[in-house]
Amino acid sequence: MQYRTLGRTGVQVSTLALGAMNFGAIGRTTQEEATAVVDAALEAGVNLIDTADWYGEGQSEEMVGKAVAGRRDDIVLATKATMPMGGRNRQGGSRRWICTALDDSLRRLGVDHVDLYQMHRWDPTTGDEETLSALTDLQRAGKIRYFGSSTFPAYRIVQAQWAAREHRLSRYVTEQPSYSMLQRGIEAHVLPVTEEYGMGVLAWSPLASGWLSGAVRKGRDVATHRSGVLPERFDPSLPHNQARYDAVERLAEVADEAGLTLIQLALGFVNAHPAVTAALIGPRTVDHLRSQLAAADTVLPADVLDAIDEIVAPGTDLAPGEKFDTPPALLDASLRRRR
């Protein structure tokens, strides 16, 4: 396992980090399976585990808490808030909700603090000063060590950094964006910003929701967990999916020629970017985990990275409709028309 410094925090984290979204209802992973995955990950040298209150409405946090019991000091523990947890004011970035949400997360995790507390999404209804002041107070109270953002548009990352300096508050030290060989849009805007501010980057969905797992290939029936939940994302009759199927076939050829699995190519690609600290893998089973841990020491040479660039151009998203950092005004016509 390789390790990198998380932004400018001085904290060393493994370049493959364990994402726990599949623990519980979302991935139907049981407590026994989750504990086995955590055991195998820690044994392999993984030292960062990332979860969120929203995953299974708290189930993931509870399962992570049970799995890491007695080993807290060996783990960089990260969780998130802001997504809806039932009720009008049980979401977002207000001080009222963040303080409550963190206490709920700490209780479910069975710990007295988390190392990294992340705002799961940007909340357009709450000012940066409101959120950052609450997070700064929670940090000073010892309940969180650092805090970060997740899936923020580049301009919101910049705005939050400015607000922290303007109001003399602690700042976001990490960003967690979606990044893979098929979704490279952040190379054009987010990653230059995180590099400018010295932020750590934890890349989620490096296997592109299963597209780069090796199980999604042209002319084959797709039978993954994700395809069962969101079949339209894998429908070969849709034009944007056709482009992805074509790209996956070509990327698989690159992997074969390099003597790698498609998973190794995908994870090696994400960790090759100098702005990325770690790729977040989200296995449902120990077998899935082992297939991804095989990329722990993968270093892609320049000619392989060049071949990937020829298939999916830098800064390009092959599924722009699946982005989660779109400004609200692009989705709601009323927000771009004068009242």
Sorted by sequence, the CB contacts under 8 Å of residue 265 that are 6+ apart come out as: 181, 212, 251, 254, 255, 258, 298, 300, 304, 308
Question: Which helix (H) or strand (E) covers residue 145, if one does?
Answer: strand 144-150
Q: How many CA atoms lie within 13 A of 293 on its CB side?
A: 19
Structure tokens at 96: 């009222």
The Cβ of residue 246 has, within 10 Å, a number of other Cβ atoms equal to 13
Is 55 catalytic? The answer is yes
The secondary structure of 257-317, three-state, reads: HCCCCHHHHHHHHHHHCCCCCEEEECCCCHHHHHHHHCCCCCCCCHHHHHHHHHHCCCCCE
What's the CA gap between 38 and 282, in Å, rounded? 11
| Angle at CA of residue 229, ends 228 and 234, nearest 5° | 65
Coil vs helix vs strand at 204: strand
The Cβ of residue 188 has, within 10 Å, a number of other Cβ atoms equal to 13
The Cβ of residue 58 has, within 10 Å, a number of other Cβ atoms equal to 20
Q: Which of 55, 146, 179, 245 is catalytic?
A: 55
CB 176 within 8 A of CB 325: no
Residues marked as catalytic: 55
